[in-house]
Structure 1
Amino acid sequence: MELTISNLSKTYSNGVQALKDVNLTIKQGMFGLLGPNGAGKSSLMRTIATLQEADSGSISLGSLNVLTQKEEVRQILGYLPQEFGVYPKVSAEDLLNHLAVLKGITNRKERQEIVKALLYKTNLYDARKKNLGGYSGGMKQRFGIAQALLASPKLIIVDEPTAGLDPAERNRFLNLLSEIGENTIVILSTHIVEDVKELCSDMAIINKGEVLYKGNPQDAIDEIQGRVWSKRIAKSELETYKKTHVVISDKLVGGTPVIRVLADIAPEGFDAAEGDLEDVYFAKIFGTQVITV
Structure 2
Amino acid sequence: MNSLNITNLSKTYANGVKALNNVSLEIPTGMFGLLGPNGAGKSTLMRTIATLQEADEGTITLGDLDVLTQKNEVRKVLGYLPQEFGLYPKVSPELLLNHLAVLKGITNKKERREMVKALLHKTNLYDHRKKNLGGFSGGMKQRFGIAQALLSNPKLVIVDEPTAGLDPAERNRFYNVLSELGENTIVILSTHIVDDVKELCPNMAIINQGEVLLKGNPTKTIEKIEGKVYQKTIKKNELEMYKQEYKVIAEKLLQGKPVIHVLSDHNPGNDFIPIEADLNDVYFSQIFG
TM-score interval (norm. to shorter): over 0.9
Structural mapping, 1:50-129, within 5 Å: 50-129=51-130
Question: TM-score w.r.t. structure 1 length?
Answer: 0.97
User: What secondary structure, in the 3-state scheme, does the structure 2 residue paired with 1:10 have?
Assistant: strand
Aligned residue type for 1:227? K
Aligned residue type for 1:17? K
Query: Using the alignment, how far apart are the partners of 1:88 and 1:236 within structure 2?
Result: 50
Query: Using the alignment, how far apart are the partners of 2:278 and 2:85 within structure 1?
Result: 33
Aligned residue type for 1:27? P
Cα deviation, residue 63, structure 1: 0.2
State the partner residue of 1:41.
Answer: 42
1:161 aligns with 2:149: no
Structural mapping, 1:181-192, within 5 Å: 181-192=182-193
User: What secondary structure, in the 3-state scheme, does the structure 2 residue paired with 1:176 have?
Assistant: helix
Per-residue CA shift, 1:179-198, capped at 9, x if unaligned? Answer: 00011000000000000000
Cα deviation, residue 115, structure 1: 0.4
State the partner residue of 2:286.
Answer: 284
Structural mapping, 1:135-214, within 5 Å: 135-214=136-215
Moved more, 244-253 or 67-76: 244-253
Cα deviation, residue 239, structure 1: 1.0
Cα deviation, residue 286, structure 1: 1.1
Query: Using the alignment, how far apart are the partners of 1:240 and 1:167 within structure 2?
Result: 37
Q: Runs in 1 of length 4+ with deviation above 2 angstroms? A: none
State the partner residue of 2:15.
Answer: 14
User: What secondary structure, in the 3-state scheme, does the structure 2 residue paired with 1:44 have?
Assistant: helix
User: What secondary structure, in the 3-state scheme, does the structure 1 residue paired with 2:164 have?
Assistant: coil
Per-residue CA shift, 1:238-273, capped at 9, x if unaligned? Answer: 111100000001111122211100001010121101
User: What secondary structure, in the 3-state scheme, does the structure 1 residue paired with 2:55 have?
Assistant: coil
Query: Using the alignment, how far apart are the partners of 2:128 and 2:258 within structure 1?
Result: 46
State the partner residue of 1:291.
Answer: none
Cα deviation, residue 125, structure 1: 0.7
Which stretches in structure 2 are left out of the alignment for 5+ residues? Answer: none
Query: Using the alignment, how far apart are the partners of 1:130 and 1:13 within structure 2?
Result: 44
Report the aligned-residue RMSD: 0.6
Q: What is the aligned length? A: 287
Query: Using the alignment, how far apart are the partners of 2:84 and 2:13 within structure 1?
Result: 21
State the partner residue of 2:249.
Answer: 248
Aligned residue type for 1:219? K
